[in-house]
A and B are shown apart, each in its own frame.
Chain A
């Protein structure tokens, strides 16, 4: 079975641009969470979606937004990129309820110049 997949693998943007990152959960998983991992630190929670509804949001500015589609895939959008947004963005999926064990994808490495 395929694990969590994310695209693109790497991305380079300039300050002020917009970016969209995509995630496909493990087949049958209905909950997706997004995390930001800055170099040298642990991941920080950004968003959580379950059954297409936002169930949680971390301490991130409104420039960050996300949505979940009927097939349970998800997009993370970041507007007005800043240098500090450079990070590895990780997506995780869980089987059913939001407290299930989370399985992570390989991440998207975003570099903002």
Chain B
């Protein structure tokens, strides 16, 4: 079935790296996404990775994709207090735009 799983909470110190993990179930997803949600706000697209890639880097963000294990991770370098938010990974298993989201990982950044 379609299910995306994430750990619920991560706490890091300002300046450290954060790694948020996600497992998905459907290997047919062409794209996999990371969204950020700040309190009381909508979803902000952070980055996405095409399924034929292993890694994508975008400034402080690095996405790693392990298709064999159906594992996706988001690494945030030099984490700042402004990075505190809920992070969602999402897949599109039918490639029709119907995104399946994980429960979200709450990132807490301590000064």
* Residues of chain A having any CB pair with chain B under 8 Å: 4, 6, 31, 33, 35, 40-45, 48, 55-56, 58, 88, 90, 92, 94, 98-107, 109
Contacts and interface: CB of A to CB of B under 8 A. Distances in A.
Interface size class of B (residues with CB under 8 A): 20 to 34
B30 to A, nearest CB: 7
Interface in B71-111: 88, 90, 92, 95-104
Nearest to A103: B45
7 contacts: A42-B102, A48-B96, A90-B43, A98-B96, A99-B92, A101-B33, A104-B43
B1 interface: no
Contacts, number: 67
Contacts of B97: 31, 33, 48, 55-56, 94, 98-100, 102
A55 B96 contact: yes
A92 B35 CA distance: 12
A44 B45 contact: no
B95 A99 contact: yes
A90 B42 contact: yes
B45 A42 contact: no
Interface centre among A4, A90, A94, A101 (most CB of B within 10 A): A101
A108 to B, nearest CB: 10
Given A101-B31, A101-B48, A104-B35, A45 B99 contact: yes
